[in-house]
Chains A and B, each alone.
Chain A
Amino acid sequence: MKKFILFIVQIIVTTLVVAILLDSFYTYVFLNNNNRNKIEFVINSNPKKYDVVFLGSSRANNHFDSRIFSNQGLTVYNYGISGSRLEESALLLKLMIEKKYLVKNIILEIDLNINSDGFSNGTRAMFMPYLKEYETIQNHYHSISNFNQLYYIPFYRYINYDSKIGFRELFFSAIKKKNSALNHEGFLPLINDQRPLVATDLSERSPKRNKAYEEIKTICKQNNITLIAMTTPICAETINRDYFNHIHKIYPEIYRMEDTVIDDKYFSTCGHMNEKGAIAFTQIVFDKFFKPKNKS
């Protein structure tokens, strides 16, 4: 039996050593790459200066065509992340501040993502490789239920989010395979159009005060960043457009832009505009907020 106990100890030690080695290796690879997603693009970058930064979910990522702004000589980047919620947008902004980014304006897409204080598991996963290296991330996630496991158990964070930061992502990061999410200054145009459009149903959703949005407002205030929060277009077939009135009641400062582009031909799906729609919408946003006033 003594031999068996030693054998089990050997297995436990082997598992621990393998987990520590894997954890170090994965973290090393993710810390030395900046072309797989927008989070590592920020984390593994030098200080930057931006006139305009876009933040939000896929409805920011697919709707704000950065090129419209950059063609006008503005430094701009679309940091919208598909699937993300305001919680992750807030954390990304905090990281930008920590990395000494100088941002003049933030355009924050805030519509369907204000529905709750929820989070995106997929986007949260992308912060996890940097959990031990960045105090900002640690503080942000300190209150989540499995923080101790994620922080202290070697390799647990990679196992817990294996579909996002598992072996495949490690492999692509190691070979520096570029992700299309980082093309066009962060703007991801949608090319294929779903026809007929399937209506987005907002009847089950109710906007609430959102902690992450409050946090973003505070950060912007502290860092002299002009925050422009706005809703973005959604197709005419959407059920319960009254949802947007509720947003406006809770946060009157949010600009209502959901009706600025309405024609079906501008939509890839009901909730997401195609490239044409994004260009049209971004032009409207640019004209409304950034076009130099006519001197005459």
Chain B
Amino acid sequence: MFFNSLQFAIFLPIVFICYWFFANKSRKYQNFILILASYYFYSCWDWRFLFLLVFSTLLDYFSAIKIERSQTKSGKKFWLWLCISINLGFLGVFKYYNFFAESFAELLNGFGFHTNPVLLNLILPVGISFYTFHGLSYIIDIYYGRIKSERNFVDYSLFVSYFPLLVAGPIERATHLLPQLKVKREFNFEKAKEGIYQIIWGLVKKIVIADSCAIYANAIFDNHNSMNSLSLILGAIYFAFQIYGDFSGYSDIALGTSKLFGIDLLKNFNYPYFSRDIAEFWRRWHISLSSWFRDYLYIPLGGSKGSKLFQIRNTFIIFLVSGFWHGANWTFIAWGLINAIYFLPLLLLNQNRKNLDNFTLGFNFSSVRILFSIVTTFCLTSLAWIFFRSKTIHDAIAYIQRMFTNQNFSPQYFNIERYNYEILFLIVLFTLVEWNNRLKIEPISGKYSSLKLALCILTILALGVFTDYKSFIYFQF
């Protein structure tokens, strides 16, 4: 059940009505309705994976209690590592087994030992990376005594399985979400309205921007050998907007949907393409994952303490693991590595926490410099996205090589009936709207909200892509 499907458009109002009209007496009923809805939502993908989700929930739930009850440090450690191992074991089998088996066989073949790896014919359970990380954050927080273990199984299950965030995040923290589930939610009109605005803006991003760009990005990436420099540059830009529109659009719909139930989720995007350097980009892109890695990997590894060499090591580990989290392919690892390399000069020059403030532009040299930094960061990011989008490292290198060496900048004809270079106007317009509203959650609220809402609906209907339906990219992770 996709957020942009008719099925979801029927499902959401039903859950909303049940939640606010029939289960409004107590938080227990509210949570019960939400957990039922969440399990139904997940079973719509593939009911068999529901067992895996429930098992993972039970494992984390009981491990947390065991950790808390353990009197000794070694006992706590035992339960922590048992739980982490099983969780990562499932992730490893479903997501990474074939990759490791194939890579190992290739390595052996390289040494002259010819082997045929045994591959598993498994479907990746939707959202496994996300709910595994939910559970892990909870367990680690319990281990460090940051929170008390949750004894109410329904509440804990809801924390793991809450349907707006179940399949593609944001990756929630127990410290943020569980307290909200422990109190009865009262209906708040302003919050619900904000949620609706966010859902509609998310749909604009997904259906209008991401899916339009996807048509061209796919055509260019799939035929990169016959594309000229101009088309390849445009392909990288289209993909940059596709993945941004797709994932931030999804996150907006998730956050907006959750607001309808009176629950706030963690912000996942903060206009990342307006970042002035790569460190700022990573503070604004997929925030819930970046902060997860920061809190549960980077800081435990020593973070920014210690020598520069130590910091560099930690930075590379974070980016490589982050890349690998996205998928079992060398392209994601290369993408992580490239971002680490981008980050390196900032780290060495102690500039990685330079751009923390908001900025305004005027008619002065400093504004030109800011704009230049933003464009440079966007170009670097788009270049790295080529690895993320390509099927193999070889494809990505060939793409970039051709982009720089072809030197042909004449327009190429695409046999696609929807748009051609007109799509660039759409991207520019979208960028301007986001720029003007970069201090807000979404651009609809505020003055003339009714008019802006009507314009968004008009944009979705008139410019949306409905027939070449594209699934959300991050659902595969």
Contact = CB atoms under 8 A, between A and B. Distances in A.
Given A7-B193, A163-B468, A164-B417, A1 B457 contact: no
B464 interface: yes
B417 A160 contact: no
Given A4-B192, A162-B467, A166-B462, 7 more contacts: A1-B20, A8-B196, A18-B457, A18-B458, A162-B464, A162-B465, A167-B462
A166 B468 CA distance: 12
Contacts of A18: 454, 457-458, 461
A191 interface: no
Interface in B456-477: 457-458, 461-468
Contact of B466 (A3, A162, A171): A162
Interface in B437-464: 450, 453-454, 457-458, 461-464
Contacts of A19: 461
Contacts of A22: 458, 461-462
Contacts of A155: 461
A163 B189 contact: no
B417 A169 contact: yes
Contacts of A163: 417-418, 467-468
Interface in A1-55: 1, 3-4, 7-8, 10-11, 14-15, 18-19, 22
10 contacts: A1-B20, A1-B187, A8-B196, A19-B461, A159-B464, A160-B467, A164-B417, A166-B418, A167-B462, A167-B463
Contact of B417 (A14, A159, A168): A168
Given A163-B417, A163-B418, A168-B417, A4 B467 contact: no
A3 B417 contact: no
Q: Which of A4, A7, A160, A171 has the most CB of B within 10 A?
A: A4
B452 to A, nearest CB: 11
A170 B468 CA distance: 18
B419 interface: yes
B357 interface: no
Given A163-B468, A167-B463, A4 B189 contact: yes
B453 A4 contact: no
Interface string A249-268: 00000000000000000000
Given A1-B20, A10-B450, A15 B418 contact: no
A161 interface: yes
Contacts of B454: 14, 18
Contacts of B457: 11, 14-15, 18
Contacts of B419: 168
A289 to B, nearest CB: 35
Q: Report, nearest first, the 3 A-B pairs whose CB atoms are least far apart.
A: A159-B466, A3-B189, A18-B458
Q: Which of A1, A160, A161, A164 has the most CB of B within 10 A?
A: A1
Nearest to B195: A4
Contact of B196 (A7, A162, A168, A169): A7
Given A18-B454, A164-B417, A168-B419, A159 B20 contact: no
A11 B449 CA distance: 12
A67 B464 CA distance: 41
Nearest to A25: B462
Contacts of A168: 417-419, 422
A146 to B, nearest CB: 13
B193 A4 contact: yes
Interface string A52-70: 0000000000000000000
B36 to A, nearest CB: 22
Contacts of B417: 163-164, 168-169
Interface in B133-190: 187, 189
Contacts of B189: 1, 3-4, 7
Q: Which of A19, A22, A155, A168 has the most CB of B within 10 A?
A: A168
Interface in A148-177: 155, 159-164, 166-169, 171
A164 B466 CA distance: 12
Interface string A224-247: 000000000000000000000000
B358 to A, nearest CB: 31
Given A1-B187, A3-B189, A4-B192, A11 B463 contact: no
A4 B260 CA distance: 10
B204 to A, nearest CB: 14
B277 to A, nearest CB: 37
A76 to B, nearest CB: 28
Contacts of B461: 15, 18-19, 22, 155, 159
Contacts of A171: 422
A167 B457 CA distance: 14
A171 B426 CA distance: 14
Contacts of B465: 162
A14 B453 contact: yes
A15 B455 CA distance: 10
Q: Which of B457, B462, B468 has the most CB of A within 10 A?
A: B462
B13 to A, nearest CB: 9
Given A11-B196, A18-B458, A161 B467 contact: yes
Q: Which of B450, B454, B463 has the most CB of A within 10 A?
A: B454
Interface string B231-261: 0000000000000000000000000000000
B450 to A, nearest CB: 7
Contacts of A7: 189, 192-193, 196
Contacts of B193: 4, 7
B213 to A, nearest CB: 15
Interface string B193-211: 1001000000000000000
A11 B468 contact: no
B52 to A, nearest CB: 36
Nearest to A1: B187
A226 B275 CA distance: 70
Nearest to B420: A168
A11 B418 contact: no
